[in-house]
Structure 1
Amino acid sequence: MTTSPEPGGPVALPTARVLTVAGSDSGGGAGIQADLKTMLAHGVHGMSVLTAVTAQNSLGVQDWWPLSREAVTAQFRSVVDDIGVDAVKTGMLGTAELIETVAGLLDTLPEGVPVVVDPVCASKHGDPLLTEDALAALRDVLLPRATVVTPNLGEAALLSGLGTGTAPAALAAALVAAGPDWVLVKGGHSEGPPTDVLLSAADGSQPVSFTAERADNTHTHGTGCTLASAIASRLALGHDMVAAVAAAKEYVTGGVRTGFPLGEGIGPVDHLWQLRPHLGR
């Protein structure tokens, strides 16, 4: 529970406040749109800072345009200074300039606000969503500000400089050295049951693994955004990191299992799968 100043004294808010700083997906399956759906499904109040606009559908990303640092800063200050925030999730930032801008804004947050960094480098279809000069900024400027960073295997290999065949635990150890408190390397792109590996900077010798059954479903658009937003929501609600990741993993697994076709390509995960029985659908 959070509190908000009101005439007569602070009152308990009915939910936590979670801010996503990310790009828009015009197709509605990933990005800001997936983040806000995930937050709603977790019972938290979702807020947004838009960093980029994409022309995107089930077939891929046709183009994208970053917003100015002034626009990103104004959105962030407008939300945080008035409403406040209990957790932040970052997604597509696109350019080195915006990564540096967002990192500076994160430094102004109250102490203890968790930051979940989804280091978006490319879309589900492999379309690049990060300029070539931005990778170093992502690794050197943003990762040290993260409570947890959530790369997939390809992103972890890029950020660590290690080969794509490197074991997830070794990738996580390399990224912990970059400064985040925790690293979650997602194993969905590997063979066999998808296994994610969580490693703490405070106890790097004991990684925690989360394994789920692989769903026979190709409609998985938005999984990375959804997982990071679910973790941020759980942290905002007061869960510890291991519990937050476990709950988020369960939520994403259900969403992938019930992901549905949309358009002519890869459809989205189902962000409302837990609510369908109550909706009669």
Structure 2
Amino acid sequence: MPQTYSIDLNCDMGESFGAWTLGNDAALMPFITSANIACGFHAGDPAVMKATVRAALPHGVALGAHPGLPDLVGFGRRDMAISAEEAFDMTVYQLGAINAIVKAEGGQLRHLKPHGALYNMAATNAALAEAIAEAVYKVQPDLTLYGLAGSELTKAGEKLGLKTAHEVFADRTYQANGTLTPRRQPDALITSADVAIAQVLRMVQGGGVRTQQGTDVALRADTVCLHGDGAHALEFAQRLSKELRQAGVQLQAGRPAAAK
């Protein structure tokens, strides 16, 4: 019997702020299965958070918290020297904010995925990873914790008994240790849609990725991240969802890549 695959397509959303608009959230909703909604620290504000939830609900898109570092100017992509206790506190604070808005709109929060530098720091720093996982566990232990595939964050979540989703990236390149190429390097982003889609299919169906060093790294792919702030984000989301379905991959939130 041939093996079947399914994958969650998640997108970072709600990253507008005040008078500034970023991304095309409403148009992307039909082509994704999960939305990670900024909680006000790196981007987003109460009105934007509410609007994003309202845009997601009619499409059945799973709602997630997307907490980041308190760095609006740097969009949460600059490392900060924070303690594990601070990581715990800022995760609890932001989780509470988005949870209240989701409940007020009649929805239910399903997952949490850290943003930007906080995400990357937690991928390799066990203390920060454990603090974020503990925050989820203490506030809402039924949430799924999203983290870089095989990272300290997914390990911390699994250790506490949380449901975890190992995340891979469509438009990012990888290093030999399984981490993402830092954005400050010129080869960090994949700009070719053909290359990005081929990478996704390889990760979902083959369980691995070709690194910038030319080696292959095995990884588990439960969810694929699409960045909604790119110039061609909508066009790419439409094409990726179509080509995954044509390849026999089902799109559904909360499902592992391979199923018997």
Class of the TM-score when normalised by the shorter of the 2 chains: 0.3 to 0.5
Which one has more relative contact order, counting CA pairs under 8 Å at least 6 apart?
A: 2
Find the structure with the greater CA-based Rg.
Answer: 1
